Amino acid sequence: MAASYREIAADLRQKISEGRYAPGDRLPMLTELQEQYGASYQTVRSAIALLEQEGLVIAVRRRGTIVRERPEKLRITRSREVFRDEIGYFFDPTAQPWKALSAPTVSWGIVPVDLSALMGLEPGAEVLVRDRVMGDPETNEPTQLATSYLPAVLTRGTRLAEADTGPGGIYDRFEEMGHRPLEWSESVSARMPSPEEAEALHLPTDVGVPLLRVLRLTMSPTGQVLEVNDTRMSSERFEIGYSISRSPSAQLANDVDAGDH
């Protein structure tokens, strides 16, 4: 029985994973793959199209199907701590050197539907939106997009609505307003980028690269949500890591055995 396109794609994917086809290598021509797998031209083409969708290969004019070269990932370790330097609070030592590559965009808008419940706001409620493109100030290369959503009732008429919020940024302003000490929580998910996000982050246009999405909530001691920070970055360039500590319940094996006797 001839191989299906999924079986062909799985075999080629395995060979790419094992390094038998390295980045920059050309896959066999479609006619060669037809003969190798005993499949039709359309079946082989569908297998290659599936690998293209996954970002593993690209079609290069006059060269054929090439195993795609991907950047080495930078690990961003979230230590579940908040830090402070001369600029203000920050949450990630790896990203600490990154700066806003241009002045933030500040506007008034409607709370996104997927964030309204998190913020304790009714759908359609007005929020202050602060958009920033962060990156390496030496190379001007963007690394992440950061959008803050703040309730309009807390921010209208305050310095929080200005482009320059002053020393310490929005968190120092919130604490000066009496919301201290601030508390934070965050979650990590993924989604596909919009065309505007892909352009801003210089993502490849020939394949779809998902975004890593870190949602961080800033809260007052009473639990009121003061800000939702929506940070997006390329899942191809970055990975999120966490250190794992041992719970008191996770005894060493010998200790557990000793306790049984």
Q: Can you give the pTM of this predicted structure?
A: 0.75
Task: Tell me the fold of 5-67.
Answer: Arc Repressor Mutant, subunit A (1.10.10)
Q: 31 is written with which tokens?
A: 């006619």
- Report whether 224 contacts 120 (CB < 8 A): yes
Q: Where in the chain is the domain with CATH 3.40.1410.10?
A: 74-242
Ranges in the chain annotated CATH 1.10.10.10? 5-67
Place of tokens 């801003």: 200
Longest dimension (CA), the chain: 73
Question: Cβ of 90: how many Cβ atoms within 10 Å?
Answer: 15
Calpha distance 185→188 (Å, rounded) = 11
Q: Which residue in 143, 73, 66 sits closest to 101, CA to CA?
A: 143
Cβ within 8 Å of residue 224, ≥6 positions away: 120, 179
Cα–Cα dist 205/254, whole Å: 54
Residue-by-residue pLDDT tens, the chain, 261 positions: 678 999 999 999 989 888 889 889 999 999 999 999 999 999 999 999 988 888 889 888 888 999 988 777 777 766 667 888 888 888 878 778 889 998 889 999 999 988 999 999 999 999 999 999 999 999 999 999 999 999 999 999 999 999 999 999 999 999 999 999 999 999 999 998 988 999 999 998 777 789 999 999 999 999 999 999 999 999 989 988 877 778 888 878 776 555 554
User: What fold, for 74-242?
Assistant: Chorismate lyase (3.40.1410)
DSSP 24-80: TPBPPPHHHHHHHHT--HHHHHHHHHHHHHTTSEEEETTTEEEEPP-PPPEEEEE-S
List CB contacts of 100: < 8 A, sequence separation 6 or more. Answer: 132, 133, 134
Using the structure block, give the residue that is written with the tokens 């706001």. Answer: 121
